[in-house]
């Protein structure tokens, strides 16, 4: 089945697609985006328990921006601290120095 044809049909009537083909699903989403159509995505996957419904395509079929949003929504905020162990080697001995600072600031 041609994703572009399904997308065109979806502009004039409701279309419901059930598929196991991840490539087809992502191509269909792309085709609908190109036509500026409206759509809703639901995927069912097995996670901690079977039958988990998500309001997106499976992770491996998402666009890069969608993956970033997906991960940001599911990752708790983390306070970053810069703690680098820098090894400086000399011919006679190895010297370890500890550098501490804040992210985004030059050391």
* Per-block mean pLDDT, blocks of 10 residues, the chain (107 long): 90 90 87 88 78 78 83 70 47 51 52
Q: How many CA atoms lie within 13 A of 57 on its CB side?
A: 22
pLDDT, residue 68, reads 86
Q: Which helix (H) or strand (E) holds 45?
A: strand 43-45
- What's the pLDDT score for residue 86? 45
In degrees, rounded to 5, the angle at the alpha carbon of residue 39 between the alpha carbons of residues 74 and 41 is 40
Question: Is residue 68 in some structural domain?
Answer: yes
The SS3 of residue 42 is coil
Specify if 82 maps to a domain: no
Q: Per the domain annotation, does 41 fall within a domain?
A: yes
- Which domain range does residue 43 map to? 3-74
At residue 77, the pLDDT reads 66
Say what the pLDDT of residue 34 is. Answer: 92
In a domain, 67, yes or no: yes
Residue 85 within a domain: no
**92 three-state secondary structure:** coil
71 forms beta bridges with: none
User: How many domains would you assign to the chain?
Assistant: 1
């Amino acid at each position: 089945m041609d994703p572009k044809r399904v997308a065109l049909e979806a502009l004039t009537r409701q279309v419901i697609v059930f598929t196991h083909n991840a490539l087809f699903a992502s191509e269909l989403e792309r085709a609908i985006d190109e036509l500026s159509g409206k759509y809703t995505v639901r995927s069912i996957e097995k996670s901690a328990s079977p039958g988990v419904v998500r309001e997106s395509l499976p992770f491996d079929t998402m666009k890069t921006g969608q993956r970033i949003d997906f991960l940001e929504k599911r990752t708790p905020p983390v306070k970053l601290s810069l703690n680098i162990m820098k090894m400086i080697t000399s011919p006679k001995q190895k010297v370890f120095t500890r550098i501490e600072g804040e992210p985004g600031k030059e050391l």
